[in-house]
Each structure stands twice: as C-alpha cells, then as structure tokens.
Structure 1
Amino acid sequence: MQLFMEDYAFIFVAAIITIALTIMLRAFGVTLIQAVVLGIPALINIEAMVSIMIIAQVLLTGVTLYKFIKALDLNYQITLEKTHQKQPDLIKEEHRGSRFSFWKTS
C-alpha cells in the first residue's frame, strides 16, 4: 500500500508550506483545517476522496498565498505610515497598526 504522500508529493509539499504560512499569519483555525485536509487522505485511501482533497488543498494554498501577499502589503503600508512617508490611515484608529492575526486583511 502506497501512501498519499508518496503518490502526490507536490501536494504534500504545498501542504507543509501552507501550514507554515498560516502559522506566520497567526491563523490557527486555518492551520487546524489544513492539518485535517492533510490527514484525511493519509488515513482514507479512496480515489474519489483523494481527488477531492487535492482540490481542497490547491484552493486552501491559493487562498493562503493571497492572504500572505495582502499581509505583506499591509505591513509595508503600516511601515510607510509609521515613518511619516504617507498620511496616517491604518494606524489612526487601530492601536498603531498592531494586530494579532493578519489573516483578516481586507
């Protein structure tokens, strides 16, 4: 019996990268969802389930990369505002731009 990780190594690598990015974004609920999406195909080896999990993994990785890029842009904008290179917009009302989780960026 071959494992899911042996057959679909690229999906497994994407899952590890997604877990790392969600931890950096402090999105612990999404990290838990990622762990479940990663664990189900390792336990259940049904062909239909594997294809559904691959699609779910690709979607979750895409959303996580989008949120990570948005968080990088937000961090850059906050840095510009704190160094007075831009008019204060983000740091005016939300405690100088600090936040617990960068997952909830608009």
Structure 2
Amino acid sequence: MMYWDDGGMNGWGIGMMTVSMLLFWALVVLGVIALVRYLGRTAPHGPAVSPPPAAPPPARPTPEQLLAERLARGEIDPDEYRARLATLHGGVGDPPASG
C-alpha cells in the first residue's frame, strides 16, 4: 500500500498547529502583563499610609489681645494701653494726663 502524503500533515493539521501556537503565545504574553500589573500594584515598602490630617491653623489674636500682650511685655504703658483700647472701641481716647 502506498501513502500519497507520506504520513505528513494536511491543511487542517497545519492550521490547528498555527492556531494553537498563537493561543500559547497570547497566554504567555497575557500572563506576563498580569504579573507585572500585580507586582506594580503592591508597594515595595509596605502598604501606603495616608498622612494624618493637618492641624487647623491657630486662631489669630484679637486687637485687644495684641494690646494686652504689648502691655504685658512692657512695650506700652497703662495710659497708652487705655487710650488705644478706647480708640479700638470707637472712642477718641483719653488725652494724656498732665501733671
């Protein structure tokens, strides 16, 4: 008995081999992409921790508080303190005491 194709592959065999090879390489490429994405997602130094919320800025002192601080530091005398405080509250201020 004589074989015409000598035991070789026909068109279907070559086609199936080509499709299976393409599927194999597609799975390899997709596996590498999935691995890179997985490793890129995990932080190398542990999980990311969000910083604590910032403290609100300190409240600004009122003008009266600033005047009191200047008086306490000795920058102004009590008469000047009273005159400036009266000016802040809408008064004209006491004239300097003579005598």
TM-score range with shorter-chain normalisation? Answer: under 0.3
What TM-score do you get using the length of structure 2 for normalisation?
A: 0.27
Give the greater-gyration-radius structure (CA): 2
- Whose helix fraction is larger, Structure 1's or Structure 2's? 1
What TM-score do you get using the length of structure 1 for normalisation?
A: 0.25
